[in-house]
Amino acid sequence: KNEVEQSPQNLTAQEGEFITINCSYSVGISALHWLQQHPGGGIVSLFMLSSGKKKHGRLIATINIQEKHSSLHITASHPRDSAVYICAVRDPSNTGNQFYFGTGTSLTVIP
Amino acid sequence: ETGVTQTPRHLVMGMTNKKSLKCEQHLGHNAMYWYKQSAKKPLELMFVYSLEERVENNSVPSRFSPECPNSSHLFLHLHTLQPEDSALYLCASSQVFRGPYEQYFGPGTRLTVT
pLDDT tens-digit profile of B65-88? 999 999 999 999 999 999 999 999
Mean pLDDT of chain B: 91
Strands, DSSP E only, in chain B? 4-7, 10-13, 18-25, 31-37, 44-50, 53-57, 64-70, 73-79, 87-94, 104-105, 109-113
The chain B residue lying nearest A33, using CA atoms, is B102
Determine the residue among B59, B105, B111, B112 to mutate to test chain A binding: the one whose Cβ has the most chain A Cβ atoms within 10 Å: B105
What pLDDT is recorded for position B52?
86
Bin A52: left if φ > 0, else alpha if -120 < ψ < 50, else beta. left
Tens place of pLDDT per residue across chain A (111 aa): 689 999 999 999 999 999 999 999 998 888 899 999 988 778 999 999 999 999 999 999 999 999 999 999 999 999 999 999 999 998 877 665 578 899 999 999 999
What band does B59 get if pLDDT is binned at 50, 70 and 90? confident
What pLDDT is recorded for position B78?
96
Rounded to the nearest angstrom, the minimum Cα separation between B17 and chain A is: 24
Asked if A40's CB is within 8 angstroms of B105's CB, the reply is no
∠ Cα A40 B108 A92 (to 5°): 115
DSSP code of B103? P
What pLDDT is recorded for position B10?
96
Count of Cβ atoms closer than 10 Å to residue B40 Cβ = 7
Count of Cβ atoms closer than 10 Å to residue B14 Cβ = 10
Judge whether residue B113 has pLDDT over 90: yes
Residues of B in contact with A92 (CB under 8 A): 98
- CA–CA dist A55, A34 (Å, integer): 12
DSSP code of A79? G
What pLDDT is recorded for position A107?
97
- CA–CA dist A78, A7 (Å, integer): 20
User: What is the Cα A98 distance to its own chain's centre?
Assistant: 17
Facing A97 at nearest CB: one of B56, B99, B104: B56
Q: Are A50 and B100 in contact (CB under 8 A)?
A: yes
Judge whether residue B47 has pLDDT over 80: yes
Burial environment of residue B92 by CB neighbours within 10 A (0 to 12, 13 to 18, 19 or more) = buried
What pLDDT is recorded for position A97?
56
Q: Are A67 and A50 in contact (CB under 8 A)?
A: no
- CA–CA dist A48, A63 (Å, integer): 10
Asked if B102's CB is within 8 angstroms of A48's CB, the reply is yes
Burial environment of residue A61 by CB neighbours within 10 A (0 to 12, 13 to 18, 19 or more) = buried
Q: Are A2 and A20 in contact (CB under 8 A)?
A: no
